[in-house]
Structure 1
Amino acid sequence: MNHPSLQLKAQVRTFSQLLSSTRRGARLARLLATTELRSWSAPQDLTERAELIVAELAANAVFHGRLPGRCFRLTLTFDPPAGRLRVEVSDARGDLHPLPRPTDTAPDPLPTSGRGLTLVTALADHWDCAPYPPSGKTVRAELLDTTS
């Protein structure tokens, strides 16, 4: 007998959560992201990098993207066969767009802020910012699994 073999295709996993624009909400975003990625059996390296990126982007959403009474949204999209994870953090402030720190200037040896996007740049394979209708923005970071 010649039976067709069943091929199990790993499906793309998605998680999205609306969180309060508070320090507690930013902390919860990091914890939820880590828990979700572990439940999906995402590679440890990908999970660790994502944890730091979510922490930075959620903190930015709370401190720079906050409008009274408005929340921010965390979205994770994991494609296991491609080894690709997309982290998105959307906030209500579309008028303030994040900019990477210029590399042609002498760094301040003791900066009090502005290191978050430098960290995101170092950990993510790509990041960008897009409008989030009606008046917000989404900062997206894409991570590729480097262990396979």
Structure 2
Amino acid sequence: MKSIDAQTEAPTSGPQFTIRLSATRRGARLARHLAVQQLAAWGIPYDTEASHAVALVTAELAANAVTHGRLLGRDFRLSLLRLQEHVRVEVTDARPERLPPAAPAADPRSLEADSGRGLLLVSTYAERWGCEVRDTYTKTVWADITCPHR
């Protein structure tokens, strides 16, 4: 099982997409749709494995941001970076003190629960993922999804 990295390497420059969204369920749903739409604009078709993986990872990270990283009146930010062999999904929320667990638990009891499997899915679909606190007001959870450059 993959675990989060303490620090991220500085991504090389490439196309990127960034948007602020309301920290609501509607904002999380919109994040997933916009991520898939942006991948299509970059030439990664909707029905590819990479598009499905980015959609799932974006949905999970955005849902976590609005569930665990929400502060009244503060938005969350979605950023996508198209790098050479992968797409980086970053979701930044307003709760730097609420860090994700170092490794998602695969406890059989948690598999039957109604929630708590999001980071397990992220670790399954992402090549690697991690969390950074870049300032005193936000944290960014990121995931790199393999997506060969065409």
Contact 1:61 1:91 (C-alpha < 8 Å) held by counterparts: yes
Asked which structure has the greater CA Rg, the reply is 1
Contact 2:86 2:148 (C-alpha < 8 Å) held by counterparts: no
* Structure 1 pair 132–83 and aligned structure 2 pair: CA distance change class (3 A): same
Q: How many residues align?
A: 134
Q: Which amino acid aligns with 1:54?
A: T
Q: Which amino acid aligns with 2:104?
A: R
Contact 1:90 1:132 (C-alpha < 8 Å) held by counterparts: no
Partner of 1:112: 114
Deviation sequence 1:43-83 (CA, Å, 0-9, x none): 6221110000000000000010000000000000012xx22
**Residues 41-60 of structure 1: pairs in structure 2 closer than 5 A:** 41-42=43-44, 44-60=48-64
What's the offset of the Cα at 1:87? 0.3
Percent identical residues = 44
The gaps in structure 2 that reach 5 residues or longer are: 1-12
Q: Determine which of 13, 30, 47 is the counterpart of 2:15.
A: 13
Give me the whole-angstrom Cα distance separating, in 1, the residues matched to 2:63 and 2:134: 18
The gaps in structure 1 that reach 5 residues or longer are: 1-10
Contact 2:85 2:149 (C-alpha < 8 Å) held by counterparts: no
1:85 aligns with 2:87: yes
- Per chain length, whose mean CA-contact separation is higher, i.e. which structure has more relative contact order (CA < 8 Å, sep 6+)? 2
Question: Over aligned residues, Cα RMSD in angstroms?
Answer: 1.8
What's the offset of the Cα at 1:136? 1.5
